[in-house]
Amino acid sequence: MCNGPPAPGKTRSVIRDQLAAAIRAALSSLEVTPLPETVNLERPARREHGDWSSNVALATAKKAGWNPRELAGRLAEILSADPPPHVTAVEIAGPGFLNFRLADSWLHDVLADVLQGGVDGYARAEVGTGTKVLVEFVSANPTGPLHAGHGRGAAYGDSLARILERVGYAVSRENYLNDRGVQMQLFAASLRARQEGTPLPEGGYQGEYIVEWATEIPEGVDVLEWGEARAVEDHRETLARMNVHFDTWFSERSMVDSGAIEVTLADLRERGVAYDHDGAVWLRSTDYGDDKDRVLVKSDGEFTYLLPDIAYHRDKFARGFDLLIDVWGADHHGYVPRMKAAMQALGHDPAELEVAILQLVNLLKGGEPVRFSKRAGDIVELRDLLDEVGPDAARLTYLLQSIDSTQTFDYDLVTSQANDNPVFYVQMAFARIRSIFRVAVERGVERLPLASVDLSLLTHERELDVLRALSELPDTLVTAANDRAPHRIATWVRELAGAVHGFYHDCYVMGEGISPELTQARLTLVEAASVGLEIGLDLLGVSAPEQM
């Protein structure tokens, strides 16, 4: 029977803490000094090496005057004589690694932990508690519809925010509207030209959406104001389809109207980091590691892009945020050092500004590059992509890879109903789980409370694979948060889905030859898998369908 599940969300850390405490006690008994500040424990890459592994002997031996393998051997003797909970064997590997083999009972405790915590409580952490973070992403010019590349930034930024929230950060999502400057003037002039039937201005916007939107312009309105509102509305609608919503849409023009840009410049001058030269105003960014000083105000009095961006980030800190995370496109890579220099010039730790750089997305259909949208001109509209593949498929596909790598988005794969389609594969795993519950209801199988279920019956390798995957989620979550890497959650979800499919294929839950006790244990396992998939899919912003 299940005896007293541990506190929600703590199973892995409890086991790790128990192993670490036992190792430290063994080191103390050997009078090893100095004792390590931390005892590193990891899951071995290969299952045959056990359930947990520690390099403590390698990390400690030299300072303590021991041979690493000899120290590992003595530690193994002590730990084998009085093993920590669940430990069945302690083995030495290589030059001095300690490998621990655990009884299946530790995974049964994981199951109990998952069910006690549930979707809201399992796999949570407090690493970000007390830190207010602003994640700024998408931030497209409000001069037309979003393109397919914006979809990757939208999926990444929102999933990162979800992950950070689950580990304790107080997160806000913001979209910065670049609604000042030449491009906005060209946008308004293009709308006006299409409305009046006159030639487009040089460098004007060519897309069919300009023709369409121009027919909607009411009489007597400011075309620039109206056009921006129309573009923002289009962005909101498209992003909402991807389950992406912002707390704030911040207008660059609002800083012009409020005088925030001039105040920022005055602040920089007061700090002695802005100076005049050749009729322009410069930032002493070389004092903070940049390769050259940067122009803030051109000789004609026009602001460069840098000064409003500095004012914007200054405003973010003034709103009380402790950490700023910006999600930028690949063409902004060289902009990062100057922004970090500017933050340092304003008196902030440059580490308080993080910038995630998104690499490009290549679209394929029928093995050929996807041509641009006639409506949008020279881009593939995000809304068109969503129409073809669906929001869930698009969002999960965007999150499968690290943003550091260029992504190939294959329409044919994403829309296929086959196991090599990761989206179909993951959602089908959840749908199969729900189908098991429906069959149980149809057959009148009444679920027993967890305390009455004999989890020790779960010994099949397919069952244990599901539990091992579930045990990985808390650490995977923290790693994904620390590395700003939602793709780690996507990878984990696929691994759990694979374990679920294997269980579904090899382990009957009900029927001939399956005892009522085993049915109850397997239904409990299936419920835990359901919790894990729901958590993972929610972190990715993807729905968990009851049926496929």
* Average pLDDT estimate for 368-390: 86
The mean pLDDT value for 507-516 works out to 95
Q: What is the pLDDT of residue 47?
A: 84
User: Domains (ranges, CATH) in the chain?
Assistant: 11-103 (3.30.1360.70), 132-358 (3.40.50.620), 418-540 (1.10.730.10)
Residue 221: is its pLDDT beyond 90? Answer: yes
Write out pLDDT tens, residues 96-148: 999 999 999 999 999 999 999 999 999 999 999 999 999 999 999 999 999 99
Average pLDDT over residues 318-322: 97
At residue 400, the pLDDT reads: 96
Contact 200, 255 (CB under 8 A): no
Q: SS3 string of 220-242?
A: CCCHHHHHHHHHHHHHHHHHHHC
pLDDT over 90 at 188, yes or no:
yes
Reply yes or no: is the peptide bond before residue 201 cis, omega within 30 of 0. no
How far apart are alpha carbons 303 and 397 in whole angstroms? Answer: 39
Assess whether pLDDT exceeds 50 at residue 391. Answer: yes
Q: Which of 38-47, 172-181, 486-495, 529-538 shows the lowest mean pLDDT across its residues?
A: 38-47
Supply the pLDDT for residue 380: 92
Q: What tens digit of pLDDT does each residue of 228-263 get? A: 999 999 999 999 999 999 999 999 999 999 999 999
Continuous segment of H or E residues that includes residue 131: none
For residue range 269-284, what is the model confidence (pLDDT) as tens digits?
999 999 999 999 999 9
Residue 236, exposed/middle/buried by CB under 10 A (0-12, 13-18, 19+)? middle
The pLDDT, as a whole number, for residue 13 is 57
The percent of residues in the chain predicted with pLDDT above 90, rounded, is 88
| pLDDT for residue 2 is more than 80 | no
Write down the H helix ranges in 30-84.
56-64, 68-81
Q: Which of 103, 121, 101, 87 is nearest to 6 (CA)?
A: 121
Q: How confident is the model at residue 374 (pLDDT cuts 50, 70, 90)?
A: low
pLDDT at 420: 84
Q: Is the pLDDT of residue 6 over 60?
A: no
| pLDDT band, residue 9 (cuts 50/70/90) | very low
* pLDDT at residue number 106: 93
Residues 6+ apart with CB under 8 A from 168: 124, 125, 126, 127, 128, 129, 130, 131
At residue 11, the pLDDT reads 40
Q: What's the pLDDT tens digit per position in 452-485?
A: 999 999 999 999 999 999 999 999 999 999 999 9
Biggest CA-to-CA distance, the chain = 90
| CB-neighbour burial class of residue 71 (10 A; exposed 0-12, middle 13-18, buried 19+) | buried
Please state, rounded to an integer, the average pLDDT across all residues of the chain: 93
Confidence of residue 10 (pLDDT cuts 50, 70, 90): very low
Mean pLDDT on 300-327: 96
What pLDDT, on a 0 to 100 scale, did the predictor assign at position 48? 86
**Helix residue ranges, H only, 122-180:** 148-166
More confident residue, 547 or 503: 503
Q: What pLDDT is attached to residue 7? A: 39
Structure confidence at residue 494 as a pLDDT band (50, 70, 90): very high
pTM: 0.93
